[in-house]
Structure 1
């Protein structure tokens, strides 16, 4: 068990005063068996007229901020949180015997629920290069499910270079593998796509890599795979790790875009130049 204190600030500045449409914020870490939030505070400037808390379609905590029509040249969002992580041993589970070999064939009742987690990232069809990687690893491990996940995690980690990319959608899996390079969200999307090629349901997770000893912090992303008997289990191909108590999840979804920490538009008409900066401090209590 580990306890972390988090301070995360995101600042947007504009070249002229603007007004805001409602903004959806996914910045509150989730609470479940793997982690619990004991403190959370949100500060927004300019102060919103109204804040509405909700649980979104994917089960994530969401806060929608409604603003007045007074123009302002900046938007500042800051959270402070204390989170306790509980997943000390990520292998403490019993995999259902029928799920030990690939391809995975979920029971009909389960597969209908998991359909969004089994479709391809683009055009709902599996990327052919991801399918090739899946077939090669599948052959190497003789269809063993857990060995497949371990080999895939290590293959991406050892063959792809991490590159920081603060904005933009996750790149197509084939592009990431061809270039052997990507951001954490690109590498996570590649991992998920390869898993889906052999019938493993996967979802995208945004959060913090709290266990790393560094002052150079960034919002992080990884994958979670649904393993019958074990539930959702995390894999971090950026670092070749199985997710344990050093990761803090904020939001998850079958679609990476649905985990964006701040989502919203401007009401202001016309061209506006914007810049974004952030500060992230994570300390172990």
Structure 2
């Protein structure tokens, strides 16, 4: 499937401010699941300079810096991406992925940030339920957990703010896509399945209002990182475009930055347009 994506984010400030260097993770990644065909980015005001780097999770990251004082900051990205993974279960697991907790052996140290958790009783209990239902099979566990969270916590739209804690999401019985993704990750980690947070885009109907999306990925030896979207109850295939991934939501945020100024009010607006071509 081919995606064409226009993503505009603008910050308006009540007074001119000094913009600190920003960190941008808005360039779609190229990997085994998707291919970036075209990408361009407009930044206003024009930055004094911009560094391009690759972070610890392999995300293509940009770091622009600015001079002077400005009353706005606008990013407009245009991407064309071809998604490649039409069969999400086309893999052969290694022997160490036969049972939970997964025996990651030689990559245990590398995966430590994706296994760290601080789960409370409600999350631990949910993990125990899914472990029993899945007979501790990692891929089955992820699939059943994905559907269970989708059933337990209907999706709501919350445009701003950090994700809720897993306990808060379970207690409320609903959550934004980032909330249920963090819940999914925490339950996986309790069970001994490495998980990370992913931000990106998802296909939808032409008349649907679009927002940045989030889901989770788990590391299955023999299959690598595989996505699960509890907000939609789907295993991620060719209808998702990933921007960035990391151990936590902050590690995959598309825009990170600060400004300097006194008594300043800031307003953010986002316009996202996504078109898809299934024949591509």
TM-score interval (norm. to shorter): over 0.9
Match for residue 72 of structure 1?
A: 70
**How far does residue 98 in structure 1 lie from its aligned partner after superposition?**
3.0
The answer as to whether partners of 1:189 and 1:204 remain within 8 angstroms in 2 is: yes
**How far does residue 115 in structure 1 lie from its aligned partner after superposition?**
0.2
The answer as to whether partners of 1:203 and 1:223 remain within 8 angstroms in 2 is: yes
Q: Deviations over 1:149-206 (max 9, x none)?
A: 1111111111112111122211110110111111101100000000001100000000
Q: Deviations over 1:2-21 (max 9, x none)?
A: 11111000011111111201
**Is 1:151 aligned to residue 144 of structure 2?**
yes
> Structure 1: where are the runs of 5+ without partners?
none
Any idea what SS the aligned residue of 2:260 has?
Answer: coil
- For structure 1, which segment, 47-56 or 161-170, has the greater mean C-alpha deviation from structure 2 after superposition? 161-170
**How far does residue 127 in structure 1 lie from its aligned partner after superposition?**
3.3
The answer as to whether partners of 1:24 and 1:263 remain within 8 angstroms in 2 is: yes
**Is 1:25 aligned to residue 24 of structure 2?**
yes
**How far does residue 105 in structure 1 lie from its aligned partner after superposition?**
2.4
TM-score by length of 2: 0.96
Any idea what SS the aligned residue of 2:189 has?
Answer: helix
Distance in 2 between residues matched to 1:7 and 1:97, nearest whole Å: 42
The answer as to whether partners of 2:181 and 2:197 remain within 8 angstroms in 1 is: yes
TM-score by length of 1: 0.94
The answer as to whether partners of 1:212 and 1:246 remain within 8 angstroms in 2 is: no
Any idea what SS the aligned residue of 1:48 has?
Answer: coil
**How far does residue 267 in structure 1 lie from its aligned partner after superposition?**
2.4
Distance in 1 between residues matched to 2:206 and 2:137, nearest whole Å: 34
Match for residue 15 of structure 1?
A: 14
Distance in 1 between residues matched to 2:243 and 2:211, nearest whole Å: 13
- For structure 1, which segment, 92-101 or 240-249, has the greater mean C-alpha deviation from structure 2 after superposition? 92-101
Match for residue 98 of structure 2?
A: 100
Distance in 1 between residues matched to 2:205 and 2:33, nearest whole Å: 18
Match for residue 212 of structure 2?
A: 219
* Equivalent of residue 244 in structure 2, options 236, 248, 251: 251
Distance in 1 between residues matched to 2:135 and 2:241, nearest whole Å: 33
Match for residue 232 of structure 1?
A: 225
Q: Deviations over 1:78-129 (max 9, x none)?
A: 000100110010100001133122222221x211110000001xxxx33332
**How far does residue 57 in structure 1 lie from its aligned partner after superposition?**
2.0
Match for residue 112 of structure 1?
A: 109
Distance in 1 between residues matched to 2:4 and 2:180, nearest whole Å: 27
Any idea what SS the aligned residue of 1:161 has?
Answer: coil
**How far does residue 141 in structure 1 lie from its aligned partner after superposition?**
2.3
Any idea what SS the aligned residue of 1:181 has?
Answer: coil
Distance in 1 between residues matched to 2:23 and 2:113, nearest whole Å: 22
* Equivalent of residue 82 in structure 2, options 65, 81, 84: 84
The number of equivalent residue pairs is 277
**How far does residue 144 in structure 1 lie from its aligned partner after superposition?**
2.2
Distance in 1 between residues matched to 2:128 and 2:206, nearest whole Å: 36
The 1:73–1:117 alpha-carbon spacing in structure 2 relative to 1, beyond 3 Å, is same
- For structure 1, which segment, 147-156 or 226-235, has the greater mean C-alpha deviation from structure 2 after superposition? 147-156
Q: Deviations over 1:4-45 (max 9, x none)?
A: 111000011111111201111110000011111111010011
The answer as to whether partners of 1:226 and 1:233 remain within 8 angstroms in 2 is: yes
The answer as to whether partners of 2:19 and 2:70 remain within 8 angstroms in 1 is: no
The answer as to whether partners of 1:16 and 1:73 remain within 8 angstroms in 2 is: yes
